[in-house]
Structure 1
Amino acid sequence: RILRENKGLEIEGEKIEAFHTPGHTKDSLCFYTGNALISGDTLFNGTVGNCFSGDPDGFFKSVKMLMTFPDETVIYAGHDYVKASMMFAKTLEPDNKDIDIFLEKYDSGHVCSVLLDEKKVNPYLRFNDEKMTALLRKRRLQVETEEDRWNSLMSI
């Protein structure tokens, strides 16, 4: 059976929705069930994947779509890059106390996060945040549109 976006599948009575999230690769998928998002290499805890697809606009749309999930969604990423991504986030926002809290909650044996926390600490989800926009302006990067800010963040 072919897996189609928004059709999903059912395993032992549990419905799992599939979402096409091009960006990391052209055929990237994320899965949502209950309040859990299995984000693979699209969205990591504290960062996003590399854009191997060569389609940053598609990647932006994928990440923006994932941001519409409920704030209490638990994110299970494909890899654990928490420490490195939070070190990077701290270089951008040294006064962001939410990053410190995020790191305090980090457990390498159980790596997951909640979307609301990601929106507070993940630089790539903060493209509409005034502080992030000011930082991009200071670096003389493009900030006119959401896509500009996303691409500017991805270029850092």
Structure 2
Amino acid sequence: MTSSIDFEQLLRGMGDAVVVSNAQGAIVVWNDAATRLFGFSEEEALGQPLDLIIPDRLRGRHNEGYAKTVATGVTRYGTSLLKVPALHKDGRQLSIAFTVALLTGPQEEVQGVAAIIRDDTARFNEDRAMRRRIAELEQAAARSAA
């Protein structure tokens, strides 16, 4: 089946960020939505390691998992929605939700990883505020019952 889809147009038009990295973890695709989400232009992001958007405290674990995924061709996150912290160019911490797909070559070797990412910061903050309020109400109820 021959496709007449203009993939460049698709990437530009996506509302969600699309970030693709090669087997070494260097960013090779970065769409306009990724720029809006993370603050880095395409020129700033291309060729950079994914560490560009990963908080320091999570880089070691991420890099180990990434290397294992590339070596084995197996990821436990293929169909799961992941929710993790990320970094904006200005240093702000974001909460992102994303899915990943392994990109393989002719011998099924992993050549890269594609991620479709959306900003989940507002929902994360709302959930945290709700959990905090519930804890306060539970404490107040416990004091009243005592």
TM normalised by structure 1 equals 0.28
Task: Work out which of the two has the higher radius of gyration on C-alpha atoms and give 1 or 2.
Answer: 2
Q: Which has the higher strand share?
A: 2
Q: Which has the higher helix share?
A: 2
TM normalised by structure 2 equals 0.29
The higher-RCO structure (CA 8 Å, 6+ apart) is 2
